Structures are given as C-alpha cells and as structure tokens.
Chain A
C-alpha cells in the first residue's frame, strides 16, 4: 500500500467528516429557527387576542347580577334562554315557545334570563350576531328586550349574507316603540358590544355549545316545545 494513497484516503475521510459536521450544524440551526418561528407566531396570537379583549362592559338595565343576560319576571323557577339572532332554530323556538314563556312569566311562575350570544358571526359578512346582540342591549336599556328580540327573529336575515343593516336595526327598534334617536346613537357608539362579548364568553364558559339552549333551573331541557317547557317548569317547581 503506497503512503500517497493512504494520505488521499485519510484526506477524503476528513473531508467527509467535515461535511457531515456542517450538515449537522445546519440542520440544528434551521430547526432552531423554525421552532422559534412557531413559538413567536403563537405568542403573537396570544398578544393580539389579549389586546383585543375588553374587560370593561356595561350591562343594560334589567340585566342579571352577573351581567350575562336580560331578566324578565321574578318567579321561583329560573329559565335561561341562549339565543343568537342569526340562528334559524332560535327563530323557530321563539315563534313556537315564546307565548308559553311569556305566559309563565305573567303567571309569576318563572324568571327568564335571555342571553343573546354572538356565536354565529362566521355566518354573516358583517358580524351580524354581534351587531344584533349589541342592538338588543340597547333595546333592553329602553326596557323592551323581549319585544325587540321577537321582532328581530321575525325579520331574521338568511345565513351567509350581510344581515340586517344598522338602519334596519334602528327601524325595527322604532317599530316596537323605542326612541329612535336614542337607540340609533346607542347602536352607533357600540355601547353594548363589550357586553355582548361578555355574554358570549360566559355562555362558552358555561359550556353552552349550541343555540338555542334552554336551561330550567340550570338543567338543559331536550324538549323545547311549549309543553316541554311547561312540564320542566312544573317539575322544577315541586
């Protein structure tokens, strides 16, 4: 074996080792950079969200103590209604069952808490769920949540569109006897948008996964028909 060939072989081995070492280092740094990118991305998301959140909210007149809903009646049994003004099933529920609920309220049997959650913003191009919920806060401030909510459901826009315009929301308010100018400025200033956010967040915290959800004394009821509600209220009242 000639020493020259030996030297060549040794040089090749060293070169290969150096190349491997370089590759290893490169991989390490690329990986570190990629992980850093992912971590920074996550932190950006968190900080954007934190800056978007508003902790301060004003609940409208007639809200419950926690500011998570608008109260009607003062009966011994509490009925929680979670509704989104863009949700067609909520409209059906409202049209089928609200007379029964209103009657139970006037009979003094129940206390209803309406939670106008903004769950379905992704089904409109203008955040209609948030806008309509904030509008319902303005209506509650004027003492007419139930009338306004009923009217909103009667004129429910289809999912996937722009929803009702602010002018239409004001017109409906005037139609149920609310002061047009006061309502319009409440809506324009977004007075109850933080409240809507609070209502929605608290509903999510309470594991309300879909609308409408009806709780009778804290228990979700499966049968949302007028008869089902009466039966559940009667059972809870015993």
Chain B
C-alpha cells in the first residue's frame, strides 16, 4: 500500500502529524480553559445552568455545576502541558458526549435554555431563542479534536514526550 501511494503524501503525513497534534492539543486545551474560566466566577449560576437541563435533582446539579468549571480548567492545563494526553483526551471526549447528549435531550423535550457551554447560562437572555444545532455541531468539532488525540496522543513539546525521553520512539502508552 505504501508502495502504491504517491510518494509526496507518504512523506508528508508523518512530518505533519506531530505538529498538527500540537495544534490540536493546544486547541482543545484552549477550549477547556475558556469554558472553565468563563464559569468559574459564578459557581451558583453554573449550578443553575446544569439544573436548567432538568435531568437531575437540584442539589446534585449545583454540586456538578460547581465542580465542572474546575475540572474543565484542570483538563485544559493537562492538555496544555501534554501530560497524560490520551487520558485527558478520553475524559474530554466523555464529557463532550455527555454535553451533546444533554443538549439533544433538552432540545427533544422542547426546553428553551442556553446550553451554558461558555459562561454560565441556563437562562436565555431576552428574545433569545435556543441555538441547539450550532451548539451540537460545535461540540462535535471539539469531539473530533479529542478523537485525534486519542488516536495519536504523542505530540512534540509535551511532558509525556519529555518523560518518555526519546520522542521518536512510538509507544502506545499515555
């Protein structure tokens, strides 16, 4: 198969992939840092945003709402450092799947809420209509980033690579 593929493309992918990986890792890190940072200032509002989905009791929603921004920030930090990249990507993917499921369920139940994705939401501002589809598509885009890192977790300029010593060694770990 390698023989039949055009030479240039074969040569390019291994050269590009590590740097594309860095971009993806930093991109996903930014997403989490911004998402967490925008909620961390008002934890009560974050709890209300979770409660607005009406999928769990209020008290549980406030606990999740308070914990989530900090977990998002921590995930962003891990990805920024490139520490435990595969695990972080896995947790990211799991969270994103839960978020998408939440939005789909709110949509299907006809709730009119703000997803609270960036900045504590829950309640819609005046005259706003829910924008569920763009929110879902955006989360799916982020999911693709997480998927890339699940498959190729090893990227240059990462703590994982530094710990492994030789970055050129392909291992399946992290």
Contacts and interface: CB of A to CB of B under 8 A. Distances in A.
Nearest to A42: B67
Contacts of A1: none
Nearest to B58: A205
Contacts of B113: 209-210
Nearest to B120: A122
Contact of B66 (A27, A34, A49): A49
A41 B48 contact: no
Q: What size tier do the contact residues of chain A reach?
A: 35 or more
A94 B112 CA distance: 22
A221 interface: no
B73 interface: yes
A90 B160 CA distance: 53
B173 A210 contact: no
B52 A204 contact: yes
B155 interface: no
Interface in A164-209: 197, 200-201, 204-205, 207, 209
Interface of B: 40, 42-45, 47-48, 51-52, 54, 58, 62-63, 65-71, 73-75, 77-78, 83-84, 87-88, 91, 111-113, 119-127, 160, 163-164, 171, 173-174
28 contacts: A23-B164, A30-B84, A33-B83, A34-B88, A42-B67, A45-B67, A45-B69, A46-B63, A46-B66, A48-B70, A49-B47, A49-B62, A88-B126, A90-B126, A120-B123, A122-B42, A122-B45, A122-B120, A159-B125, A197-B44, A201-B44, A201-B48, A204-B122, A209-B111, A209-B122, A210-B112, A210-B113, A210-B124
Given A209-B111, A210-B123, 10 more contacts: A31-B87, A43-B67, A45-B43, A46-B66, A46-B67, A49-B47, A89-B127, A90-B126, A123-B125, A209-B122
**Which 3 residue pairs are nearest across A and B when measured between Cβ atoms?**
A49-B66, A34-B84, A45-B70
